[in-house]
């Protein structure tokens, strides 16, 4: 049996190491939030996100950020601590994709529930360039940028999204 190489060394200063460290410190169970392993289909998830939300001018080129070639309108709200709004946008019982990047083309994929994701984000916000919360049905995507922008996109915006946009 092949043993997984572990990208999450103790000194890892990038999102996956921070997620693992913080989930351990906060005693978050793996069924509530976990990093996808290197043998899981994270590439398939990335492809589905590009297909669902991006319309690149050059299909052979993928941007490091999903927002560079949007398929739908992007609604941007500038707020202090945008991650504080996530729990009002995402149902607490919905298992979602949580994707982080430190600004290069590498994306780190996790899955979990919004309460635990918010707990981790609040501890590691300075480590992440951008983070995404994506419904597993690929109906909507939320981004929090390094500039404290909360960005929302979907073919049809859910009512919770519209209410937040209207209030800002």
Q: At what angle do helices 114-124 and 15-25 cross, to 10 degrees?
A: 110
Give per-residue pLDDT as tens, 146-168: 888 899 999 998 998 988 888 88
68 located within any domain: yes
Q: In which domain, by residue range, is 90 found?
A: 15-167
Q: What is the pLDDT of residue 40?
A: 93
147 located within any domain: yes
8 located within any domain: no
Q: How many domains does the chain contain in total?
A: 1
Give per-residue pLDDT as tens, 50-72: 889 988 766 666 665 677 788 89
Over residues 104-129, mean pLDDT: 83
Residue 20: its H or E element: helix 15-25
Q: Distance between CA atoms of 101 and 148, rounded to whole angstroms?
A: 15
Per the CB < 8 A criterion, the answer to whether 166 and 77 are in contact is no
Q: The whole model's pTM is what?
A: 0.84
């Amino acid at each position: 049996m092949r043993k997984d190489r572990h990208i999450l060394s103790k000194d890892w200063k990038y999102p996956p190491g921070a997620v693992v460290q913080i989930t351990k410190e906060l005693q978050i169970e793996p069924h509530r939030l976990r990093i996808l392993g290197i043998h899981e289909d994270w590439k398939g998830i990335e492809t589905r996100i590009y297909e669902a939300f991006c319309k690149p001018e050059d299909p052979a080129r993928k941007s490091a950020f999903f927002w560079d070639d949007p398929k739908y309108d992007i609604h941007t709200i500038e707020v202090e601590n945008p991650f504080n709004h996530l729990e009002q946008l995402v149902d607490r019982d919905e298992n979602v994709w949580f994707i982080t990047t430190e600004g290069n083309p590498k994306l780190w994929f996790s899955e979990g529930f919004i309460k635990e994701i918010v707990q981790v984000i609040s501890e590691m916000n300075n480590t992440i360039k951008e983070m995404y919360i994506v419904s597993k049905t690929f109906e909507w995507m939320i981004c929090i940028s390094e500039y404290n922008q909360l960005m929302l996109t979907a073919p049809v915006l859910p009512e919770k999204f519209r209410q937040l946009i209207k209030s800002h």
